[in-house]
Amino acid sequence: MSGGRLSGGRLTIGLVHGAALLLALGGLAGTLWQGLDEPGHALAFGVLVALGELTGRGARRVGVPPMLEELWGREPAPLAAAGALAYALLGESAGRPTTHGVLQTVAVVVAAGLVGSVPHIARGHGPDRDQLALRVLTVGFAALCFQPLYNAGTLTARIGEGPRYALFLLLLLLLTALCGAVVAALLRRARQHHPYGPLLRDELRALLGIGSAVCATGAVMALGVAVAGLWALPVFAVPLLLTQVSLRRWAAVRTTNRQTIASLARATEIAGCTPPGHARRVAALSRAVGRELGLSGPALTDLEYAALMHDIGQLSLVDPVDGGATAPLPAAEQRRIALLGAAVVRRTGVHEAVARIVEQQADPYREQPLPARIVRTVNAYDDLAGDRAGGALGALERLRLGTARDYHPDVVESLARVLARGGVTPAPPG
């Protein structure tokens, strides 16, 4: 089963990357063979895409938390994406028809993207291959839907100009964004082996944020150049640049918040209440299990935060728990630690849902919401896996034996599947 998933995932990735590579090579070869139409326009849009790559991908940093890595991973260079889509949907420039086609559009976007990525490659932070493939495929799709119709005169004859033309561009961009979301979710499914539905929901949710800004800016750029010429490019690029700066600041704030929560969670380790790395292991494994069970977006973030701070209540105990393992404790003592922890979490100012998960982790599992069931199960696994007498396999067996009363069967089996795929390293002994 696991081997089949891995081979299927590699096949999906290979097909997507192969299609993007063939399209890129075809665009470059076709442009070299036929020559470059309207070099001024190609240079202007190429500079815009390269500048977008240069300023956008610098926001991606090594070591960011998973939720922010996913955010930047969806569109690390929004200005470059908007410029590429605008070039794909460019029909007129200052009232004069353009003649570049699909192959030249792809060639200019690929060449400019590579040029803009050179400084990042030199620093060891080259572009993600999945993102490169997505950029080539989405731009090629948009150009293929627009350029042949426009160059043949069919688009102008049937739709004309004005509001209907602008609406057509927006609808085409929406269709392109949806196709990109489908392919992006497929790639994430192939790499992470999580259920496709939640991954697709994450991608579609991202379209409402920076994705909508990219699509709107791409359409406005194409329409602006049609009326005012290339001078419209810098004017319409400014709003997206400001949005990009704001997004960076927001990401910095979220990163700081998570670092604060992670530092608070480490307080139990520093105080000797829990084994080193326990909170981080439970958080990483809880997030993977949450993905497996269909959680996404803010619910997954709340789960991760709650898993990081699930043992914070031990700091309020007069007598520390032996070894920091709460799973073997009586239910009343587990409940007391959970209530103490929730009280501490509420004082940190994080989302109330995080405090509720911490508070409910010791409840009977039939009364728990899904995130609390996950934290309870994963915490017990990490506690039990640290027992040299049983180890990881023994811990899973004990969890399965406890599904009648203590742990939800679906969560335990999801945990087993995640561990079988090797997605998270099992807890080390001791």
From 377, 361, 375, select the one nearest 413 (Cα to Cα): 377
Q: Name the burial class of residue 389, with classes exposed (0-12), middle (13-18) and buried (19+) by CB atoms within 10 angstroms of its CB.
A: exposed
Q: State residue 118's pLDDT score.
A: 84
Burial zone of 257 (CB within 10 Å; 0-12 exposed, 13-18 middle, 19+ buried): middle
pTM: 0.75
Q: Which residues contact 242 (CB under 8 A, 6 or more apart)?
A: none
Least Cα distance to 314 among 280, 265, 353 occurs for 265
pLDDT of residue 428: 39
Cα-trace Rg, the chain: 26
How high is the pLDDT of residue 17? 92
pLDDT of residue 45: 93
Q: Supply the pLDDT for residue 4.
A: 55
Instruction: List average pLDDT for each run of 10 residues in the chain, which is 430 residues long.
Output: 62 91 94 91 92 69 42 65 91 88 93 87 78 91 92 81 84 90 89 80 79 84 89 85 76 76 78 80 90 84 88 73 69 83 81 86 84 90 72 82 85 88 48
Per-residue model confidence (pLDDT) at position 427:
40
> What is the DSSP track for 190-231?
HHH---HHHHHHHHHHHIIIIIHHHHHHHHHHHHHHHHHGGG
Q: What is the dihedral of CA 340, 346, 352, 357, to 10 degrees?
A: -20
Q: How far apart are CA 147 and CA 226, in angstroms?
A: 14
